C-alpha cells in the first residue's frame, strides 16, 4: 500500500481551540518526510472520517484537550470502519486520564500521547505501524 | 469488482485509492488510467493560481459552493501544496479553508504535495484529473501551489485559468512582466474590500488593454509549439479578452459574477474551437512526457551500470563533455 510518502491527517475535533500541539506534531511529521493534511479546528467526527477517506491517509492523528475523547474517538473509529478504512491507524494526543487509555487502546487506538511526549517517539511509532499495515 | 469499475460506479473509497495509486505512479495506477481513458474528456477543468495568501483556497471553496448551489454539478477539488525540498515532507493546509464543503457527497477534495515539481503542479496532477473526470465530476477545480511569477503549467492543463491577485501586491511594472498574468483567462482581484483595490484594478486593466492577439508559442520539452493568432477580421469572435473580476471570497461577494464569467469563457471555448485545441495541448503534453520518461528508463535499462559509470567518470575528468557523451552513446 505505502509506495509513496506516508500520508497523515491531523485533525482537531471538539470545541476547544488549542491547536498548538496539533501544529507542533504536524510540523514534526513534515520534517520526518511525511505528507500531513491539516484540517484545522472544530472538526466533527463526520468531517474527520470524510477527510480521511478523501485523502486516503495511512494514519489519522487527532488532538483532544476538552475531555470529550470517550465520546469522539469511538464515533470516529466507527465512521472510518463504515467507510472501509478499518486498517487506518488512529493516534491520539492531548490530556487523557490513565483509566481511559486502557479502554481507548482496546477500541483500537494505536498510540496515545500526553504532555511531554517526544515527537521522535510519535514519528517512530507511525513508521512502525504503517509498515505493519503494508 | 475491480478498481476501474468501482471508480466508474462512483465508489468513493475506490476513487480515493485510485488517486493514491496514480499519484504514486504504481503499476495498478497506470492500468486503471488506461482502462478509464475512454470515459474521460467530459469535465471542465478550472485552474486557480496566484501568489501565496491571495485567497486561492477560500475562492475554491466559494466556487465549489456556487456550482453546487446554482448548477447542481458534481465538484472535485485537487489542491497542490509544496513539498519540502529537504525531507520530501509537506503540510497540506488547503482543506482548512474548505470546511463548508464537508458533508456533501457530491464534492470530493483531495490534497496533494508537489513532490519536487517546479511548475506549480505535481508530476501526477494531470493524471489525477483524469481519474476525477472518469468518476463523473462535472467541474474539477485545480488549485496550484502559491505561485510566484513563472509557475504556468496550469495553463497547459486547465480549460479556464483564474489568476488570483490581491490589492497591494505590486505596481504596474509587475503587471507588464511576462509570466503568470499572461495565462489568465479571468483575473480575480480577491480581498476587494481592502484599500488599494482601485489601483490594483487600474494597473491590471491597463496591462490588459495593451494585449492583442498574438501567436501563442509554447516551449514544450525544448520544442516550440505555435498556436497561430486568430485572423484580424474575426478577431472579436476568436479572441478572448481577459476579464477582471473583484471578489471577497471570505463572504462570497462577487462569486456569482465570477461564476458567470467562467460560463461565458466556456461558451467562448466551445463556439470557437479553442476547447479542442486545449484538449490537444493537454493530451500531447501527457503523451510526450510519458514517451520521454519511458524512452529514458528503457535506455538506462539497456545500458549497463559499468558503461554508465565509465562515461560519467570521463565527464568528471573533463575528457569528454556531456554533449559529446550523449553523441557517443546514441550516435
Judge whether B258 and B245 are in contact, CB under 8 Å.
yes
Q: What is the mean pLDDT of residues A59-72?
A: 92
The pLDDT assigned to B330 comes to 86
- Interface test with chain B among A7, A22, A26, A37, by most B beta carbons within 10 Å: A37
pLDDT at B52 over 90: no
CB atoms within 10 A of CB B115: 18
> CB–CB of B16 and A54 under 8 A?
yes
Query: Which of A29, A39, A85 shows the shortest C-beta gap to B95?
Result: A39
Percent share of chain B, pLDDT over 70: 87
B40-272 architecture in CATH?
Answer: 3-Layer(aba) Sandwich (3.40)
Residue B213's pLDDT band (cuts 50, 70, 90): low
Which of A9, A30, A85 best probes binding to B when mutated, by most B CB atoms within 10 angstroms?
A30
Within-domain flag for A66: yes
Residue B174, chain A, CB below 8 Å: the answer is no
Q: A20: domain CATH number?
A: 3.40.50.280
Name the nearest CA neighbour of B66 among B101, B16, B14: B101
B22-26, B215-219, B315-319, range with the lowest pLDDT: B215-219
CA distance A118 to chain B (A): 19
Range of the domain at A83: 7-133
DSSP-H helix ranges across chain B: 3-8, 12-23, 27-36, 56-66, 125-134, 154-157, 172-176, 197-209, 235-238, 255-271, 274-302, 305-316, 322-330
Least confident of A66-80, B58-72, B221-235: B221-235
CB-based contact, B111 to chain A, within 8 Å: yes
Where does the pLDDT of residue A2 fall: very low under 50, low under 70, confident under 90, or very high at 90 and above? Answer: very low
HEC states along B40-60? CCCCEEEEEEECCCCCHHHHH
Residue of A nearest to B77 (CA): A54
Q: What would the pLDDT profile of B156-200 be if each residue is shown by its tens digit? A: 899 999 999 988 776 555 655 656 778 899 999 999 999 989 988
B44 strand-pairing partners? B139
Which pLDDT tens digit goes with each residue over A12-63?
A: 998 877 888 899 999 999 999 999 999 988 899 999 999 999 999 999 999 9
* DSSP state for residue B304 in the 8-state scheme: -
SS3 for B77? strand
B217: pLDDT confidence band, cut at 50, 70 and 90?
low
For residue B277, pLDDT over 50 is answered with yes
Residue B223 has pLDDT above 60, yes or no: yes
- Nearest one of B144, B139, B138 to B156, comparing CA atoms: B144
For chain B, give every residue range classified as CATH 1.10.287. Answer: 274-331
The model's pLDDT over B61-105, given as tens digits with 9 standing for 90+, comes to 999 999 999 999 999 999 999 888 888 898 998 999 998 999 999
Backbone angles phi, psi at A64, to 5 degrees: -135, 120
Total domains, chain A: 1
Instruction: Count Cβ–Cβ pairs < 8 Å, chain A vs chain B.
Output: 84
Under a CB-based contact definition with an 8 Å cutoff, are residues B13 and A83 in contact?
A: yes
The pTM for the full model equals: 0.88
In a domain, A99, yes or no: yes
Mean pLDDT of the B102-128 span:
90
In-domain check, residue A65: yes
Which residues have a Cβ under 8 Å from the Cβ of B45 and sit 6 or more positions away? B129, B140, B142, B157, B158, B159, B160
Tell me which residue in A31, A51, A85 faces B95 most closely, judged by beta carbons: A51
Looking at 1.10.287, 2.20.28, 3.40.50, 1.10.3470, the CATH number of the domain B274-331 comes to: 1.10.287
CA distance B261 to B184: 13
Name the grid cell of B191: 480581498
- Asked whether residue A100 is assigned to any structural domain, the reply reads yes
Give the residue among B106, B98, B42, B45 at the shortest CA–CA distance from B71: B106
Predicted confidence band at B230 (pLDDT cuts at 50, 70, 90)? low
CB contact under 8 A, A56 and B103: no
Taking the C-alpha atoms of residue B137 and residue B257, their distance in angstroms, rounded to an integer, is 23
Contact call for residues B12 and A53 (beta carbons, < 8 A): yes
Considering chain B, tell me which residue range(s) the CATH 3.40.50.300 domain(s) occupy. 40-272
Q: Minimum mean pLDDT among A67-71, A105-109, B147-151: which range?
A: B147-151
Residue A1 has pLDDT above 50, yes or no: no
Whether B110 and A85 lie within 8 Å, measured CB to CB: no
The rounded percent of chain B whose pLDDT value lies above 90 is: 57
Give mean pLDDT, residues B240-258.
94
Q: Is residue A1 part of a domain?
A: no
Q: What is the mean pLDDT of chain A?
A: 91
Amino acid at each position: 500500500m505505502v509506495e509513496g510518502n506516508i500520508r497523515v491527517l491531523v485533525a482537531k475535533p471538539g470545541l476547544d481551540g488549542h491547536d498548538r500541539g496539533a501544529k507542533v506534531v504536524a510540523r514534526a511529521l513534515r520534517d520526518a518526510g511525511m505528507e500531513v493534511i491539516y484540517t484545522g479546528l472544530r472538526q466533527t467526527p463526520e468531517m474527520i472520517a470524510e477527510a480521511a477517506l478523501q485523502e486516503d491517509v495511512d494514519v489519522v492523528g487527532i488532538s483532544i484537550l476538552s475531555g470529550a475523547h470517550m465520546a469522539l474517538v469511538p464515533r470516529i473509529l466507527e465512521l472510518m470502519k463504515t467507510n472501509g478504512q478499518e486498517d487506518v491507524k488512529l493516534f491520539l494526543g492531548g490530556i487523557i486520564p490513565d483509566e481511559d487509555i486502557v479502554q481507548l487502546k482496546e477500541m483500537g487506538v494505536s498510540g496515545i500521547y500526553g504532555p511531554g511526549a517526544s515527537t521522535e517517539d510519535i514519528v517512530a511509532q507511525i513508521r512502525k505501524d504503517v509498515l505493519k499495515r503494508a | 469488482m475491480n478498481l476501474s469499475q468501482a471508480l466508474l460506479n462512483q465508489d468513493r473509497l475506490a476513487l480515493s485509492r485510485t488517486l493514491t495509486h496514480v499519484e504514486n505512479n504504481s503499476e495498478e495506477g497506470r492500468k486503471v488510467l488506461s482502462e478509464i481513458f475512454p470515459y474521460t474528456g467530459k469535465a471542465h477543468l478550472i485552474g486557480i493560481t496566484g501568489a501565496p495568501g491571495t485567497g486561492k483556497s477560500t475562492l475554491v471553496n466559494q466556487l465549489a459552493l456556487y456550482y453546487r448551489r446554482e448548477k447542481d454539478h458534481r465538484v472535485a477539488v485537487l489542491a497542490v501544496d509544496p513539498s519540502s525540498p529537504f525531507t520530501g515532507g509537506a503540510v497540506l493546509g488547503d482543506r482548512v479553508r474548505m470546511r463548508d464543503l464537508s458533508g456533501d457527497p457530491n464534492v470530493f477534495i483531495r490534497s496533494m504535495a508537489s513532490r519536487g515539481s517546479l511548475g506549480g503542479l505535481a508530476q501526477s496532477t494531470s493524471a489525477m484529473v483524469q481519474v476525477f473526470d472518469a468518476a463523473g465530476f462535472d467541474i474539477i477545480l485545480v488549485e496550484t501551489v502559491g505561485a510566484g511569477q513563472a509557475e504556468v503549467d496550469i495553463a497547459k492543463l486547465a480549460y479556464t485559468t483564474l489568476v488570483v491577485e490581491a490589492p497591494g501586491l505590486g505596481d504596474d511594472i509587475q503587471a507588464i512582466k511576462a509570466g503568470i498574468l499572461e495565462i489568465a483567462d479571468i483575473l480575480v482581484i480577491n480581498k476587494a474590500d481592502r484599500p488599494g483595490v482601485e489601483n490594483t484594478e487600474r494597473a491590471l486593466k491597463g496591462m490588459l488593454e495593451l494585449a492583442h492577439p498574438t501567436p501563442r508559442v509554447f516551449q514544450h520539452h525544448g520544442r516550440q509549439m505555435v498556436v497561430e493568432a486568430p485572423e484580424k477580421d474575426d478577431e472579436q469572435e476568436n479572441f478572448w479578452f481577459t476579464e477582471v473580476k473583484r471578489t471577497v471570497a471570505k463572504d462570497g461577494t462577487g462569486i456569482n459574477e465570477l461564476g458567470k464569467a467562467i460560463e461565458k469563457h466556456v461558451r467562448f471555448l466551445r463556439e470557437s474551437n479553442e476547447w479542442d485545441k486545449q484538449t490537444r495541448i493537454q493530451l500531447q503534453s501527457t503523451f510526450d512526457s510519458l514517451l520521454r520518461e519511458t524512452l529514458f528508463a528503457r535506455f538506462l535499462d539497456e545500458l549497463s551500470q559499468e558503461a554508465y559509470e565509465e562515461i560519467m567518470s570521463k565527464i568528471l575528468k573533463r575528457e569528454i563533455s556531456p554533449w559529446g557523451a550523449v553523441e557517443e552513446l546514441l550516435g
